Structure 1
Amino acid sequence: MKTTTKKFDVSFEFFPPKTTEGMDKLREARNQLAKFNPEFFSVTFGAGGSTRDRTMDTVLEIQREGFQSAPHISCISSSKAEIRDLLHAYQAQGIKRLVALRGDIPSGEVSAGDFRYASELVAFIRDETGSHFSVEVAAYPEFHPEARTPAADLLNLKRKVDAGANSAITQYFYNADAYFRFVDQCDALGITVPIVPGIMPIYNITQLARFSSVCGAEIPRWLKMRLEEYGDDIASLRAFGVDVVSELCETLLAWGVPSLHFYTLNQSNTISNIIENVQD
């Protein structure tokens, strides 16, 4: 086991706001989190490209402020021409990093587009732009909810890496052993890119349970029961959540993770408390 260091790399994920008030809130959060000198701020991309313009506007604003910004690109429901135009637009603006995702499969009669898998998107990015972009992809220590088997999910990650991904960011988790075993399995399969743990702060149990049911992240029984015990006492719940997530981060850093990627939900206070706890 490696020794914990007090200085560590971080990155932060935002979603593009829909309103002026939301954009003001995002700017406030970004300004507060900037003091941690993040490697980059990433900005999500709505299903089927539904937030394309807002994602780009947010990414370019972050870049103008002197920070490295990484737009998410999801390929489901998109044509190769649409993705090509988007890649070249980001390339022309000097964006150097992307988060390449498949995205949610559309329901009903909506076309799935020209791509089926994120590995196809990564290969397309390399074909179109060579080595211009550093490409991040998603990884799932507790396995993707649509995965047939854990082995099949690991092979899917390997396909993304073999297609040209530079590193991976995981879905959030609260069981560090799940991450450690996952990285060991990746090593055994020849996946040698950095695998950065995704960290989800705890804001409220209802929201967390909803997210987890969709993405397949497990809330350990002990944690779920403790959070439920707080009821409507949100302040105490969040204070407890800060302690839990701070301890998780300390455990990961002691093990020697490459960095930590925080899912901010466009908020900053709780994350600031976590990082400051770990740095103390």
Structure 2
Amino acid sequence: MKVIEMIQSAKKTAFSFEILPPLKGSSIERVFRTIDTLREFDPKYINITTHRSDVVYKTVDNGLLKPVVERSRPGTVAIAAAIQNKYGITAVPHIICSGFGKVETEYAMIDLSFLGITDLLVLRGDKAKSEKSFKAKENGHSHALDLQHQINDFNQGHLIDGGKMDPLTTPFSYGVAGYPEKHDEAPNLDSDIYWLKEKVKAGAEYIVTQMFFDNKKYFEFVDRCRAEGITVPIIPGLKPLTVLDQLTVLPKIFHVDIPEDFAKELRKCKSDEEARIAGVEWCTMQARELIQHGVPSIHFYTLMATKSVKEVAQIVY
């Protein structure tokens, strides 16, 4: 059953979450521990992030710096396969433009199709750490919409080199990202929603939002999307704040606002544990209100927050 079908057939607000592949050289056991912690809440699917390769400079024997291409979190495809094999839970790997060429993407889709992993989340991805603005890899895609077209062509049996294969028995289906507070590179929300509508026209079956801490912004975003004719499910993404410095770090990195009522409570906290407890309380409030409004699913971002996500889910699910 596809992700969209699981969401639509759920009798109550569905639960899902996102994990990161372990750092290169680290064990997959940490991923399994996260899943073991949260599987009691019947996750309909688990997202696995994909990380681009970056150029880092390392000192060589002559003392000079040598550029080396390094990927800190490899293994998205393998982890997706391991999750479906071990747990029988649908795995949704991220497919991104950033750092990947069309041919690399095609080979990833071939591998995923062989493994029976046919649900994707399609994203542009972040710019390289060394870049001031996003630049596509040579022979790569600049926008998620372009990546969607490659996936659609692959589903029909069209390969990058002009070759043909039989259309997939189970074609890839996918969701895309949405930004209630707009993407930081978009000139305005109207433009952002225009391109989101184009992504839905191209085949996106659902939208998962960037994290937000003000439900009003989510509801307004949904209303704007509906007014523009976007009818697919819009799944809210939540992240419990877990440490004090996230009060300033999260707005800077993810370009999201923290409501003043929440910020006041965080400023009262004297330790990270106090901030974590406040984060659980705020996220619980958000989740309860979203469920009361009948959202189809809630998607939780678990980085540094597995314990907190469990505490929220114990209350609302």
| Structure 2 length-normalised TM | 0.80
Q: 1:84 aligns with which of 75, 83, 106?
A: 106
Aligned to 1:132: 171
Alignment of 1:81-230 (within 5 A): 81-106=103-128, 107-108=130-131, 112-113=136-137, 114-130=140-156, 132-207=171-246, 209-230=248-269
Q: Taking structure 1 as reference, are residues 229 and 54 closer, same or farther at Cα in structure 2, changes over 3 Å only?
A: same
Please show how residues 64-79 of structure 1 align to structure 2 within 5 Å.
64-65=85-86, 66-79=88-101
**What's the counterpart of residue 251 of structure 1?**
289
Q: Deviations over 1:22-41 (max 9, x none)?
A: 63222111112111111111
Q: Which residue pairs with 1:237 in the alignment?
A: 275
Superposition deviation, residue 45 in structure 1: 0.6
**Bigger share in helix:** 1
Counterpart-to-counterpart distance in 1, 2:304 and 2:107: 28
User: What percent identity do the matched residue pairs reach?
Assistant: 33
| Per-residue CA distance 1:130-181 (angstroms, 9 max, x = gap) | 5712201100001111110110010111111111111110011111110111
What amino acid does structure 2 have at the position aligned with 1:261?
A: H
Alignment deviations for residues 190-220 of structure 1 (CA, whole Å, 9 cap, x no partner): 1111100001011113135323312211111
In structure 2, give the amino acid aligned to 1:90: L
The residue identity in structure 1 corresponding to 2:39 is A
Higher alpha-carbon Rg: 2
Contact residue 45 and residue 91 of structure 2 kept, 8 A:
yes
Q: Are 2:302 and 1:276 equivalent residues in the alignment?
A: no
Segments of 5+ residues of structure 2 without an aligned counterpart are: 1-9, 55-70, 157-169
Ranges in structure 1 where 5+ consecutive residues have no aligned partner: none
2:47 aligned to 42, 53, 72, which one?
42
Alpha-carbon offset, residue 108 of structure 1: 4.4
Once residues 186 and 260 of structure 1 are traced to their aligned partners in structure 2, the CA distance between those partners, rounded to angstroms, is 18
How many residues align? The count is 274
